[in-house]
Amino acid sequence: MVAFYLATTLNPNLKHPLKNHPNFTLLMISRSPLSTSTNPNPLSSEFWMCSRASITPGTVLILLAGRFKGKRVVFLKQLPSGLLLVTGPFKVNGVPLRRVNQAYVIGTSTKVDISAVNVDSFGDKYFAKEAQKKKKKGEGEFFEAEKEEKSVLPQQKKDDQKTVDAAVLKAIESVPDLKSYLGARFSLKAGVKPHELVF
């Protein structure tokens, strides 16, 4: 029956013995997903570009997933893809410049003045991996290649990390105890209720 209800919304002329029954109801289904400026479709890129009100440049975020789960980072800007550009800084807690999904972060009330930090050159292409052609190898070459092939970070990215972190660290040091706060990993103790915490 459900399949017929769906079919009749697309073809009202479809005949069915129960079509005129008083309990028969047609399901009204929109052919195109609804999307407005105030309530964008969750499947569209427009939805993911709407950053939360608690996340603004300079906000300290808590990472909830991934390799650096529990680390506190400084939010720098939102990229065209909707991902958030953050840094530890690396010298403080080991978190490098990276992109994170805003669904897996908690925005805190702690903020840093990053007006002097220039992140205009960082976009989604900056973090894209270069495609490498794979060559066929023999058995002997295969095990030797595993030892030799290791991902090495380009010197340019190392320099970019130092430049950004130097400006962020300068802003962090102007706030008392903020450096130690960023260096400490977030965790919940026994008996602490997450929904009652104020970040």
CA distance 97 to 85: 7
What phi and psi, each to the nearest 5 degrees, are found at residue 143?
-70, -30
What phi and psi, each to the nearest 5 degrees, are found at residue 72?
-100, 135
Query: What pLDDT shows up at residue 154?
Result: 83
What confidence tens digit (pLDDT) does each residue in 145-191 have? Answer: 555 556 677 888 899 999 999 999 999 999 999 999 999 998 888 88
Query: Which amino acid makes up residue 8?
Result: T
pTM: 0.67
Class of domain 50-124+157-187 (CATH, top level): mainly beta
